[in-house]
């Protein structure tokens, strides 16, 4: 009678599939964008972690300015975030040189989607959130995307990061339509702080940008440092 061979996991493979880490969680992030009355807000946490275990910095920039009325937030692997931020700024600068005007948020979102889809067989490990106002009409626009650039534009709020479930929960509870800039700031700040308190891979303070047609409000939030 042949002895049955025991099936053993390959060398280096995790024993429990639940313990396998997603590369999207390697550095940690939490980003929210919200629409108000003739304004839009985007917020992110500030933690920069390594391998889910070590907090290396508490001042990481995850939201990048494209122009005065347009910002893009990036969650995912930090190196890919920096690469994509440089590519997006480069594409916008080329457009501005050729056209003599700033990109509309919707146009920029399609550029972002195109850059990601170009690498669909070996994607960048980053998920962008685009938030901005139309430079002419002042109409707000926000959208989220996945790794290969599938857009999900919406008229209320969009979230991305490690703790999407927590962020969605608090945003659905607190969000109201037609918020003024100061009210929008208060709501998005409370949503960010409440959301990251339920996740150990993001947090350690945050930054909020509220964009309206005639001014920009940027404020830093103090959060739990544990």
Mean pLDDT, consecutive 10-residue segments, the chain of 226 residues? Answer: 52 55 82 93 90 80 93 92 94 94 93 94 93 90 92 92 87 90 93 84 87 91 79
Give pLDDT, residue 196.
Answer: 86
DSSP string across 39-86: EEEEEEE--EEETTTEEEES----EEEEETTEEEEEEE-HHHHHHHHH
Are 135 and 104 in contact by the 8 Å Cβ rule? The answer is yes
Are 106 and 151 in contact by the 8 Å Cβ rule? The answer is no
Give pLDDT, residue 138.
Answer: 86
Sheet holding 63-67, edge to edge: 63-67, 70-76, 126-133, 140-145, 151-154
Distance between CA atoms of residues 141 and 112, nearest Å: 14
Outline where DSSP puts E strands in the chain: 30-35, 39-45, 48-50, 54-57, 63-67, 70-76, 126-133, 140-145, 151-154, 157-161, 206-212, 216-221
Total-model pTM: 0.86
């Amino acid at each position: 009678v042949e002895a049955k061979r025991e099936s053993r996991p390959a060398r280096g493979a995790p024993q429990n599939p639940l313990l396998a880490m997603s590369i999207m969680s390697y550095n940690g992030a939490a980003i929210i964008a919200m629409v108000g009355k003739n304004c839009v807000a985007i917020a992110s946490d500030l933690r920069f972690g390594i391998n889910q275990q070590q907090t290396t910095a508490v001042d990481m920039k995850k939201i990048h300015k494209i122009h005065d009325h347009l910002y893009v937030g990036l969650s995912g692997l930090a190196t890919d975030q920096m690469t994509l931020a440089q590519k997006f700024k480069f594409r916008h600068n080329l457009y501005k040189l050729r056209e003599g005007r700033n990109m509309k948020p919707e146009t920029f979102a399609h550029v972002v989607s195109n850059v990601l889809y170009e690498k669909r067989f070996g994607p960048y490990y980053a998920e962008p959130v685009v938030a901005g106002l139309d430079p002419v009409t002042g109409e707000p626009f926000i959208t989220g995307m996945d790794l290969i650039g599938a857009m999900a534009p919406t008229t209320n709020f969009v979230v991305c990061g490690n703790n999407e479930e927590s962020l969605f929960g608090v945003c659905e509870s607190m969000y109201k339509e037609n918020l003024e800039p100061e009210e929008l700031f208060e709501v998005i700040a409370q949503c960010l702080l409440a959301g990251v308190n339920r996740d150990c891979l993001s947090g350690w303070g945050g930054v909020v940008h509220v964009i309206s047609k005639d001014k920009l409000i940027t404020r830093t939030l103090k959060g739990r440092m544990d």
